[in-house]
């Protein structure tokens, strides 16, 4: 009998191990306790002919838009019709811990939005779905939050909040070219899991941009079987582990411009993952900055390693006296290495490159350690708050060219101020910017062209990448005011004059200062028609902003405000357009390409002008 019990126990352990290896992430509590699972839920179906079954459900149809008019419990909503909008209108779709909440199977061009999905095994499933959007949904208390499966391609998952799940987002098998942007994945087991089996296609060319992955007990992201993945501009904070790329099929991925704070291993490259790029990230106060195990051929450059318990850990095992798994990677590109908070800073010739190499181990050396941080996150790391900012635009013609003249006023407070300690700040500027003046408490201060000094340092906006300028200030007190004046030509894009303001508010939001309001004033000194304001988004239409029109002498003045919150998805950039034919951009990708084409000449011109106006001084180059 004892032997039988041992055999049964061993069989169960083997079963659990096999399930984990196959990608079954967690067992529900009822299954772990060997209780019968809850019954599978009945399906409510929007059929391919547009009918809804059962018809008694509170779903109202208006053309191709289906809107909930009340909460729905204990049903799976299955969409079989392509090209529709399914709007939850803020109502709750409640499950019984089994089944699926919303299912798209083989459909194209479906939008699912404004749902509160609770209590399912899978909250929202996209199986072999393409060109669809899941936006502005709340998913919690599910085993899986959003699941993309078996060839789900070219979908957008944007501005969702997913919490209290075993895994917030799961991609499995041949899921390609999907975009995940501005989602909040907090308080889950794992944030994102990308998985495949060796006999199936990998998950390639997906993008994870500007998401907030905070307080997950497992990984923020774990990726296996993927290539060409872009992980950019995300906040990865206080997770059990940060982002992991693992396996021989996990190659040619890019981890760029993310903020890693307070995680276990911030970035892990393991198990024969190769040829990945890690650049422009801030890695601060993690247990390990970058961890390697048997992962070679990657590039790690222009990152800021700040006060991690171990900046880099290169794991290996000693196999009969020889090193096995000791990884060899490149730690610089174009004579640009990384910034290390524990580096002994000697720079006799003043080229901002350390005179001695930073030795990681016997096979990995940063030969070009940087003397100054290279990311905007690190340069703004001192705890700053900015509850209000004031941005004034004057749109006028100068020698026949339409210019936007910008005057920004930024009252700031250092939450931890040290007298005499310099504060480095970066400011993204549109292509073609000239006439730059920066003041601290009314006194003009110097600035430098940061992107010119660091060619890899560009700032992402909805209209492409912008260069950055840098100023270094010594605040006279914890409270101070910065102001900036500049002008740039107005882009003409898809028949509209278009001006973008990069809000870039994330560094100023924290639990101690959770709100910030930007107050805009736009004065048009030119004939115009159809003035509109938007927050940029990732769906087919940007979000309009309400604005107020007043008259001032011979000009019209538009005012509008935008509030950002620490505990919510950030609103994105601000764009205003005006022309006789102004319209919401129908295709954001085409819009961006057109914008980049429109400003190509301005880019070359602006580069020369920025060089001309650069004021390099000791105070701005420290």
Per-residue pLDDT at 582? 39
Q: Name the domain boundary from 345, 378, 411.
A: 378
Q: Name the domain boundary from 332, 354, 378.
A: 378
Question: Is 241 found in the same domain as 353?
Answer: yes
Q: Number of structural domains, the chain?
A: 3
Q: At what angle do helices 600-613 and 588-598 cross, to 10 degrees?
A: 60
Residues 6+ apart with CB under 8 A from 351: none
Question: Is 476 found in the same domain as 456?
Answer: yes
Partners of 443 in beta bridges: 440
Contact between residue 57 and residue 229 where contact means Cβ atoms under 8 Å apart: no
User: CA angle, corner 458, sides to 452 and 462, nearest 5?
Assistant: 140
Question: Is 355 found in the same domain as 397?
Answer: no
Domain-located, residue 30: no
Closest CA to 545 of 526, 527, 565, 519: 519
Contact between residue 438 and residue 419 where contact means Cβ atoms under 8 Å apart: no
Question: Is 578 found in the same domain as 436?
Answer: yes
Question: Is 387 found in the same domain as 352?
Answer: no
Q: Which residue has the higher pLDDT, 596 or 54?
A: 54
Q: How far apart are CA 525 and CA 557, in angstroms?
A: 9
Question: Is 467 found in the same domain as 324?
Answer: no
What is the gyration radius of the CA atoms in the chain, in angstroms? 26
Question: Is 404 found in the same domain as 371?
Answer: no
Closest CA to 330 of 310, 360, 374, 354: 360
Please give the residue range of the domain that contains residue 434.
383-606
How many helices (DSSP H) and strands (DSSP E) are in the chain?
Answer: 6, 60
Question: What's the pTM value of the predicted model, to 2 decimals?
Answer: 0.58
Give the model confidence (pLDDT) of 526-570 as tens digits.
888 889 999 885 444 688 999 999 988 888 999 999 988 866 666
Q: Name the domain boundary from 378, 402, 430.
A: 378
Contact between residue 230 and residue 258 where contact means Cβ atoms under 8 Å apart: no
Domain-located, residue 38: no
Contact between residue 337 and residue 369 where contact means Cβ atoms under 8 Å apart: yes
Domain-located, residue 28: no
Contact between residue 133 and residue 160 where contact means Cβ atoms under 8 Å apart: no
Domain-located, residue 364: yes
Residues 6+ apart with CB under 8 A from 112: 79, 86, 88, 102, 104, 124, 132, 133, 134, 135, 137
Domain-located, residue 21: no
Question: Is 560 found in the same domain as 528?
Answer: yes
Q: How far apart are CA 203 and CA 379, in angstroms?
A: 35
User: Is pLDDT at 76 greater than 50 in this prediction?
Assistant: yes
Question: Is 220 found in the same domain as 134?
Answer: no
- How high is the mean pLDDT of the chain? 81
Range among 132-141, 189-198, 489-498, 549-558 rated most confident: 132-141
Give the model confidence (pLDDT) of 102-131 as tens digits.
999 999 999 999 999 999 999 999 999 999
Closest CA to 261 of 211, 306, 209: 306
Domain-located, residue 24: no
Question: Is 408 found in the same domain as 526?
Answer: yes
Question: Is 243 found in the same domain as 366?
Answer: yes
Domain-located, residue 26: no
Domain-located, residue 11: no
Question: Is 404 found in the same domain as 296?
Answer: no
């Amino acid at each position: 009998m004892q032997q039988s019990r041992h055999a049964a126990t061993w069989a169960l352990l083997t079963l659990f191990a096999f399930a984990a290896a196959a990608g079954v992430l967690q067992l529900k509590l009822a299954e772990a306790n060997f209780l019968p699972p809850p019954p599978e839920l009945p399906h409510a179906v929007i059929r391919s002919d547009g009918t809804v079954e059962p018809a008694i459900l509170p779903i109202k149809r208006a053309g191709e838009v289906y809107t909930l008019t009340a909460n729905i419990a204990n049903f799976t909503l299955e969409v079989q019709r392509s090209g529709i909008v399914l709007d939850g209108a803020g109502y709750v779709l409640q499950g019984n811990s089994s089944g699926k909440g919303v299912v798209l199977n083989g459909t194209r061009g479906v939008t699912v939005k404004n749902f509160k999905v609770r209590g399912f095994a899978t909250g929202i499933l996209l199986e072999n779905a393409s060109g669809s959007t899941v936006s502005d949904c709340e998913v919690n208390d599910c085993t899986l939050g959003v699941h993309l499966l078996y060839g789900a391609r070219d979908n957008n998952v944007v501005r969702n909040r997913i919490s209290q799940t075993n895994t917030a987002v799961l991609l499995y098998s041949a899921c390609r070219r999907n975009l995940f942007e501005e989602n909040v994945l907090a308080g889950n087991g794992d944030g994102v899991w990308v998985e495949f089996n060796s006999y199936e296609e990998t998950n390639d060319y997906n993008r994870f941009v500007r998401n907030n992955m905070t307080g997950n007990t497992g990984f923020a992201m774990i990726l296996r079987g993927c290539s060409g993945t872009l992980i950019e501009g995300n906040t990865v904070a206080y997770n059990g582990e940060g982002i992991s790329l693992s396996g021989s099929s996990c190659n040619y991925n890019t981890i760029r411009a993310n903020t890693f704070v307070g995680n276990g291993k911030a970035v892990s490259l393991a198990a024969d993952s190769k040829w990945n790029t890690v650049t422009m990230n801030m890695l601060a106060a993690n247990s390990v900055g970058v961890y390697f195990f048997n992962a070679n051929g990657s590039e790690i450059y222009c990152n800021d390693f700040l006060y991690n318990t171990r900046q880099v850990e290169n794991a290996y095992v000693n196999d009969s006296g020889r090193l096995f798994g000791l990884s060899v990677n490149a730690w610089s590109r174009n004579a640009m290495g990384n910034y290390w908070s524990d580096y002994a800073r000697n720079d006799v010739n003043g080229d901002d490159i350390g005179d001695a190499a930073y030795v990681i181990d016997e096979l990995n050396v940063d030969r070009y350690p940087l003397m100054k941080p290279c990311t905007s996150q690190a340069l703004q790391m001192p705890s700053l708050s900015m509850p209000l900012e004031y941005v004034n635009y004057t749109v006028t013609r100068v020698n026949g060219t339409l210019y936007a003249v910008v005057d920004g006023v930024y009252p700031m407070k250092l939450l931890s101020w040290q007298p005499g300690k310099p504060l480095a700040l970066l400011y993204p500027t549109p292509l073609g910017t000239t006439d730059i003046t920066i003041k601290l408490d009314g006194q003009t201060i110097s600035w430098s062209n940061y992107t010119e000094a660091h060619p890899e340092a560009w700032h992402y906006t909805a209209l492409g990448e912008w260069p950055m300028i840098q100023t270094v200030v010594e605040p006279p007190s914890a409270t101070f005011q910065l102001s900036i004046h500049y002008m740039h030509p107005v882009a003409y894009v898809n028949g509209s004059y278009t001006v973008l303001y990069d809000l870039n508010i994330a560094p100023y939001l924290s639990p101690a200062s959770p709100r910030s309001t930007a107050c805009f004033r736009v004065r048009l000194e030119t004939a115009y028609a159809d003035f509109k304001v938007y927050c940029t988004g990732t769906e087919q239409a940007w979000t309009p902003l309400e604005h107020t029109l007043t008259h001032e002498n011979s000009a019209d003045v538009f005012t509008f405000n935008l509030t950002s919150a620490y505990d919510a998805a950030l609103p994105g950039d601000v764009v205003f357009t005006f022309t006789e034919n102004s319209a919401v951009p129908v295709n954001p990708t085409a819009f961006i390409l057109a914008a980049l084409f429109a400003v190509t000449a301005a880019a070359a011109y602006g580069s020369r002008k920025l060089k001309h106006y650069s004021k390099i001084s000791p105070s701005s180059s420290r």
